[in-house]
Structure 1
Amino acid sequence: MKKFLKMALASTMVLGVLAGCSTSSNLENNTPGQSTGNTGTTDGKVTIGLAVSTLNNPFFVSLKEGAEKAAKDAGVELLVVDAQDDTAKQISGVEDLIQKKVSVLMINPTDSAAIVTAVEAANAANIPVITVDRAAEGGQVVSHIASDNTAGGKMAGDFILEKLGGKGNIVELQGIAGTSAARDRGQGFHDAVDNKEGVNVVASQPADFDRAKGLTVMENILQGNKDIQAIFAHNDEMALGALQAVEAQGKDILVVGFDATDDAVKSVEDGKMAATVAQKPAAIGETALQTAVKVAKGEQVESNIPVALELVTKK
């Protein structure tokens, strides 16, 4: 299979004109909701594979737990592989799930472009693929389950503008480059704040969805920018790291995150973070697993299944 993946990558490079440039989840490659692969089971048992980007982030732990609960309720087996934010490790994990002949493969990509080879390998093995939270930029995907990250980014941006009275200097902490979540959340945020008179995004730097990096990046930004009124971080881990940097310097800066993890919600309730966009990861995992079971049974599913968002502020 490793040899196959290398061949698939080479094929993708040669046939780039045909396989590249797709929509975020490339759903136009197959009929929406129609599985084109191996929906059979082993000994009558449906087995679902979940390749998750990292379990070092509480958001994805909740997503996995939601999928595990749904799997237990449905009486199916769930096999989980953790990439620990390493693309090569994720591709290897997907390869293992393909070799185990899972009925359906759910992928939460570490990198939306790099995962394409693994998606295509699953396609070649006739295993239907569902993307979860983050999309793939190619390959055939039966369904994509996620919150509308663009709408969530705009929700955060609109909230910041309201709180600042329509003017001020804002810092953006970006997620991992190459992920659809970082791209879409950033797009929504900029849709809200760009071209607004009196509003300036004075720094926009990646901190890779990581709390420690959020702290370090924000410390560096604060050294060079003394006049900052708000921070938007693409996830709560970076927001909490940025908050540490702000508090260490005794600053009063509005901090808004994304994901509504337990730590972030508590920070909002304590009046430290201003808000977080609730993406409901457990519901995403549960919905993805339920969709995978339907696909395994040959049932029709929607090509895009959204999970509702809401803004969490201090009550």
Structure 2
Amino acid sequence: MKKLTLLIAALLLVLTTGCSMQPPSWAKPKTGGDLTQMKIGLSISTQDNPFFVSLKDGVVAEAKKQGIETIVVDAQNDSAKQTNDVEDLIQKGVSALLINPTDSAAISTEVENANNLGIPVITIDRSADKGDVKAFVASDNVKGGKMAAEYLAQLVGKGAKVVELQGVAGASATRERGQGFHEVADTELNVVASQAADFDRTKGLNVMENLLQAHPDVQAVFAQNDEMALGAIEAIRSSGKDIPVIGFDGSDDALKAIKDGKLTATVAQQPELIGQMAVQAARDVLQGKTVEKSIPAPLKLVTKE
């Protein structure tokens, strides 16, 4: 009977340990002053978008400069995959997590798991709805949305009919860019339609084709990122119309399209700089320094002129 009791106790111990989110002892996060002994886990929402490729490059380059190892995972715009990716990074014993959320609500559970394990979290470009985030590094998306609306109002005039292509539902960037845009556009412009195209070029093209059929008299377009804007200008060109389009990000493709006279303007971010700033924030946190909760990266409006 005594042997049976010991066996049951051992099984319970194994089951309890197996269900824990704790990483194995060899993979416990390292903290302290020696950065060369630390590693950062970077979870990117997608590598199909040039903006996030540049952001990742900024993180990797700055981490290398600081002597910090980086592990990069691509969520492929799938919030469930991102959850699994972050769990894997935790199990690998990362010292800090840099997360570019696919969905700001869905990622919150993993932020809280990291909090419970003492792993600092820095969010990049998009925030998390819950959990303790040491720093949020991003452009001021609300300000950028306002910049876009103000420029369109100057370009096409007060009360002009415009459509808005929205990003991924649930992403903080979608909410914030839309918020800033509507703070100005709802009084200065006539927003006849707002429709999601998920930050995707092909979807931007398809959605714009449908919007042109529903609103043939539209006078301007605001797309919440450059990929959707580039899709929209293809749809507009195919229709034979000449409608100004403003994007958001400042990607290489968008800047070239502006130079070629195809895209009207973009609210340009600096993704590599954002990545660099995120690593610098993680470094400071790991060294016990205080960092600002919100770290803004500068924006600029880019036009052909």
Q: TM-score, normalised by structure 2?
A: 0.89
Matches within 5 A, 1:143-162: 143-162=135-154
Deviation at 1:229, TM superposition (A): 0.6
Would you say 1:243 and 2:250 are equivalent positions?
A: no
Q: What are the Cα deviations for residues 18-58 of structure 1, in whole angstroms up to 9, with x where unaligned?
A: xxxxxxxxxxxxxxxxxxx9635899512011111000100
| Aligned partner (choices 181, 184, 190) of residue 176 of structure 2 | 184
Aligned residues: 282
1:156-175 correspondence runs (5 A): 156-175=148-167
Instruction: Measure, in 1, the Cα distance between the counterparts of 2:267 and 2:187.
Output: 23
Aligned runs of 1:1-16 on 2, under 5 Å? 3=19
TM-fit CA distance, 1:101? 1.2
In structure 1, which of residues 84, 98, 104 is the aligned counterpart of residue 90 of structure 2? 98
Residue 219 of structure 1 pairs with residue 198 of structure 2? no
What displacement does 1:246 show?
0.1
Q: CA RMSD in A?
A: 1.7
**Structure 2: tracts of 5 or more residues without a match:** 1-16, 22-28
Aligned to 2:124: 132
Which of residues 243, 251, 267 in structure 2 aligns to 1:261? 251
Structure 1 residue 286 corresponds to structure 2 residue 286: no
Structure whose CA Rg is larger: 2
CA drift of 1:297 comes to 1.4
| Matching residue within 289, 293, 298 for 1:303 | 293
Query: 2:247 is paired with a residue of what secondary structure?
Result: strand
Contact preservation (8 Å) 2:35, 2:68: no
What secondary structure does 2:41 align onto?
strand
Per-residue Cα deviation, 1:116-151 (whole angstroms, up to 9, x for no partner): 101011111110111110000000111110000000
Asked whether 1:107 is paired with 2:83, we answer no
Supply the distance in 2 between the matched residues of 1:220 and 1:133 (Cα, whole angstroms).
29
SS in structure 1 of the partner of residue 187 of structure 2: coil
The 3-state SS of whatever aligns with 1:202 is strand
Q: Does 1:116 align with 2:108?
A: yes
- Contact 1:105/1:128 (<8 A) preserved: yes
Moved more, 162-171 or 142-151: 162-171
CA distance in 2, matches of 1:2, 1:112: 28
- CA offset digits 1:208-250 (Å, max 9, x no partner): 0000000000001111111011000000000000000000011
SS in 2 for 1:50: strand
Q: Which amino acid aligns with 2:291?
A: V
- 1:166–1:144 distance in 2 versus 1, CA, 3 Å: same
> Is residue 205–residue 217 contact of structure 1 (8 Å, CA) maintained in 2?
yes
CA apart distance, 1:167 = 2.9
Q: In the alignment, residue 223 of structure 1 is paired with which amino acid?
A: Q
Q: Secondary structure at the match of 1:140?
A: coil
2:186: which partner in 1?
A: 194
CA contact (8 A) 1:171 1:231 kept: yes
1:253-309 per-position Cα deviation (integer Å, ceiling 9, x unaligned): 010000010000111111111100011111100100111111111122111110000
Distance verdict in 2 for CA 1:103–1:167, change over 3 Å: same
The one-letter code matched in structure 2 to 1:106 is: L
Aligned with 2:248: secondary structure? strand
Aligned 8 A contact 1:171 1:203 in 2: yes
Aligned 8 A contact 2:36 2:68 in 1 = no
Moved over 2 A (4+): 1-5, 37-44
- 1:14-29 matched pairs, under 5 angstroms: none
Q: Unmatched 5+ residue regions in structure 1?
A: 6-36
Is the CA contact (8 Å cut-off) linking 2:36 and 2:67 kept in structure 1?
Answer: no
| Inter-partner Cα distance in structure 2 for 1:47 and 1:191 | 41
Tell whether the 8 Å contact from 1:277 to 1:312 is kept in structure 2 after alignment.
yes
| Matches of 1:38 and 1:183, distance apart in 2 | 35
Percent sequence identity over matched residues? Answer: 57
Match of 1:54 among 46, 61, 67: 46
Query: Could you tell me whether the CA contact under 8 Å between 1:278 and 1:309 is conserved in 2?
Result: yes
Q: Report what 2:4 is aligned to.
A: none
1:195 CA displacement = 2.5
**Greater RCO (CA < 8 Å, at least 6 residues apart):** 1
CA contact (8 A) 1:64 1:285 kept: yes
* Residue 44 to residue 223, structure 1, CA distance change in 2 (3 Å): closer
